[in-house]
Amino acid sequence: MKREMSGIDLMCVVDELQELKEAWVGKVYQHDNVVRIALSGKGRHNLLIEPGRRFHLTQYPKETRFPTSFAMQLRKHMQGMRLKGVKQHGIDRVVVVEIDGRELIAELFAKGNVVLREGDKVIASLRHRKSYEFPPHIDPRKIGFEEFCGLLSSGNVVKTLAVSLGLGRLYAQEVVSDSGGDSEFERLYESMKELFSRLERERNPQIVLEDGEYIDCVPIDLFVYENHDKIYFESMNKALDEFFRAIDEKKEIKSEEKSHFEIIIEKQKKILEEYEKRREEEHSKGDLLYTHYSEVQDIISKVKEIVERDSWEGASKAVKELPDVEKLDKARKVIVLRLDGKLVEVDVEEGIHASAQRYYNRAKKFLKKIEGAKRAIEEMEVVVEREKKRERKMTESEHEEFRVEDIPRKSAWYERFRWFISSDGFLVIGGRDADTNEEIYKRYMEKRDLVIHSQAHGGPLTLIKTEGKDVPQTTIHEACVFAVSYSSVWKAGQYEGECYLVKPEQVTKTPESGEYIRKGAFVIRGKREYFTVPVGVSIGIEKEPLRLIGGPPSAIEKRASVWVELEPGRFAHNDLAKKIYKKFVEIVGSRKIAKMVAPPEKIMSFLPPGTSSIKKEKF
């Protein structure tokens, strides 16, 4: 079964995306390891990038409540710009999206990566990269015959075509099949050139099925899939989108994510209907040969006479004058007849009985597929019911402390920002980016609040919402840890940092004469109280209300029933979020509840900038 796109798949997708040149780049989203870019101006589209796996437009965008730091970086440097082009690196699984002087590079091999760069400078990278160089490659569309022979003479033909020339195993096998299995280099070379010619002129995007299951998605009809069922699409983007959606849906079932069972059963029933239709069609064609036995036998006799008198070449022209004959396939020695409106093939040499039996045998094969599809539907229905009972039992008894009804229906206003509740019960909020820093300054900063900011750049504008009460040193210390941890101090791998405390009236957006203040930045005037504090972030699940919380360890560990404490480390956001999510699933017991309370994308919203590791945990 196909697990990721090939270089040839990507070539076809890139061709189709040329029509989106000059589209506007909108917001960027990240769900787990998948990046989605909203595009507008030529209709609304969503470009999906899953490193190491796929790159295409999608009609199934997943919603994300909180943007990750990587998504925010891409928004900052791409949103509002024009898409200038999409190009592929040879036929490698590397694609470049050109955006007003910048390049967004997506790798679809190995673990993959998404890198934004301007010139040689890397601006943002999903997996940490200080620089980027394209992998070496040979473009099989441009290779000369002598170089081709040199490569093939060095080893196994299929492996060389697949790896050295980047065709992949499927298309390497197609080249060999089209050459008639001939190992002569000249024939293989022509076969490879013909493959790329077919890719240019015979696009027919399709999903290939085997026993009702999706096994591949290809842009043209392939000899290797000649006897497989297919579902055809108007574009490769749409075919890939449907293929991977269905494959991912099936994976979710195996991992006990059962929300789409009914949809899967419906699809299986549609496939069952298709099998029943095909079985009836094959059987009826066999019957037609016997219903029109005398007419068909007469046509066979006349064709044989023409062949004996002339040749198969001459017969292919002469048979067009015979009634009910559509054409003669001289290579296969088969007559194609139109009987009662249906196209039916009869083998000239084997005769009516053998030809009819061939149709009946195909009908029997579809009958077996029908029986298999029915069993699959019955088994799926049993699994659905069993899993529903298991989920009900789990949520009602074994894991009563984590209940769906305890999840708040609405998020609190401050959950749009970085936030935590201190050990003393004070709300502390901070900006996620320049926009939210501005919003906190303009809408939520009150005279009675306390303001904290890190000395290092990139930190959140942090407010302790005092509500007129005296603030203990415990809360001030926690707010300082919060401000420093979500600044560039953490990203630099440092374990402590400096910050200062001021009053709201000391914070202004009015610059000195001749100066300019960028969005999200402020001027502090007057005396500051400085603190040096360690970095530290914990993320956990609070019971009442049932929600995900994150912030300074002393505050979070007091309120959360389960938690992990982090330190600067080596794991990127998406990898660490998945690791933490798996731990939460184990303790909560219900994947459904864990997904509602602490999905990976929400966990990422609490992670500090840069890479991190788990220091300790409580489960």
So where are the chain's domains? 7-125, 145-254, 294-348, 413-618
Q: Determine the pLDDT at residue 124.
A: 93
d(CA 242, CA 233): 10
Backbone CA torsion sign across 527, 533, 535, 537:
negative
Q: Which residue has the tokens 């002129």?
A: 201
Percent of the chain with pLDDT over 70: 93
Among 6-20, 347-361, 395-409, which stretch is predicted with the lowest mean pLDDT?
A: 395-409
Contact 485, 456 (CB under 8 A): no
Contact 466, 499 (CB under 8 A): no
Q: Determine the pLDDT at residue 211.
A: 81
Q: Does 255 score more than 60 pLDDT?
A: no
What band does 516 get if pLDDT is binned at 50, 70 and 90?
A: confident
Q: Determine the pLDDT at residue 319.
A: 78
Per-residue CA distances from 243 to 112, 167, 248, 532 (Å): 20, 21, 9, 53
Q: Determine the pLDDT at residue 246.
A: 84
Query: 530 - beta bridge partners?
Result: 500
CA dihedral 259, 265, 270, 275 (to 10 degrees): 140
Give residues with Cβ within 8 angstroms of 506, minimum separation 6: 451, 524, 525, 526, 528
Q: Determine the pLDDT at residue 13.
A: 98
d(CA 509, CA 514): 14
What band does 257 get if pLDDT is binned at 50, 70 and 90?
A: very low
d(CA 118, CA 99): 10
* 506 or 389, greater pLDDT: 506
3-state helix, strand, coil in the chain (%, to 5): 45, 25, 30
Percent of the chain with pLDDT over 90: 58
Q: Determine the pLDDT at residue 65.
A: 65
- The residue-averaged pLDDT of 46-73 equals 89
Q: Which residue has the tokens 């690791």?
A: 579
- The residue-averaged pLDDT of 542-566 equals 92
**Taking Cα atoms as reference points, which of 483, 519, 520, 522 lies closest to residue 501?**
483
Length of the chain: 619
Q: Determine the pLDDT at residue 252.
A: 60
Q: Does 393 score more than 70 pLDDT?
A: no
SS3 573: helix
Q: Does 182 score more than 70 pLDDT?
A: no
For 342-379, the pLDDT digits (tens) are: 899 999 999 999 999 999 999 999 999 999 999 988 88
User: 7-125 — its CATH code?
Assistant: 2.30.310.10
Q: Does 455 score more than 70 pLDDT?
A: yes
Per-residue CA distances from 327 to 221, 288, 315, 399 (Å): 22, 18, 10, 69
Q: Which amino acid is at 571?
A: F
d(CA 356, CA 339): 13
Q: Determine the pLDDT at residue 61.
A: 85
273: left (phi over 0), alpha (psi -120 to 50) or beta: alpha
- The residue-averaged pLDDT of 496-524 equals 87
Instruction: Identify the helix (H) or strand (E) that includes residue 604.
Output: helix 600-606
* 492 or 587, greater pLDDT: 492
Q: Does 397 score more than 60 pLDDT?
A: no
Q: Which residue has the tokens 């402390």?
A: 401
What band does 323 get if pLDDT is binned at 50, 70 and 90?
A: confident
- The residue-averaged pLDDT of 308-314 equals 80
